Chain A
Amino acid sequence: EMQVVESGGGLVQPGGSLTLSCAASGFSVTSNYISWVRQAPGKGLEWVSIIYGNGDTYSIDSLKGRFTLSRDTSKNTVYLQLNSLRAEDTAVYFCARGSYGSFDPWGQGTLVSVSS
């Protein structure tokens, strides 16, 4: 069974950093792509970034330079490093396996709260 599990969320002060993890099982991150999607409290889904099986990464323009994707193939895990965090980055961050231009399965999400 394919599964992804996020971790690493928490409370961080404005300007701070946090690294989220997305541990994959049942498939390899080297032959699949994984996306991060976030959802601010009471708001809709926002696509954030993607890392392909070959390691190439892409993010929405508004987040480039602050959010960085990486991976550890030995752990079959993808990471999203969040820098220079702002209050508006407060959200549940989901990771999901990509396939046929869609995302499935999704993890349960990890909450990032940016507040002083």
Chain B
Amino acid sequence: DTAVSQTPKYLVTQMGNDKSIKCEQNLGHDTMYWYKQDSKKFLKIMFSYNNKELIINETVPNRFSPKSPDKAHLNLHINSLELGDSAVYFCASSQEGRGREVRGELFFGEGSRLTVL
């Protein structure tokens, strides 16, 4: 079983459309994240949820809205897509509540490649 799974893996859409990416982790972790990787491979955090509560919200346009229905799921909805939103979006999870030896160790999903035309 895949530990952190994302769907869809590929998404091609027109500017102005709304799309969602889903993420699920079966590791029992308490924290989930969305990262954006651009064409130069730079990796930037967008959001982080701990036990369904938003704890990190980087400078991201409010067209991006995360939702965490439970601690195993973190979805990303994007409204009014723009060309600059084209990227690979990675979901990740970690166990932050168990002590420093595991803190910050991220388990990544396989990524969702979004192409906006």
Q: Do A and B bind each other?
A: no
- A interface, CB within 8 angstroms of B: none
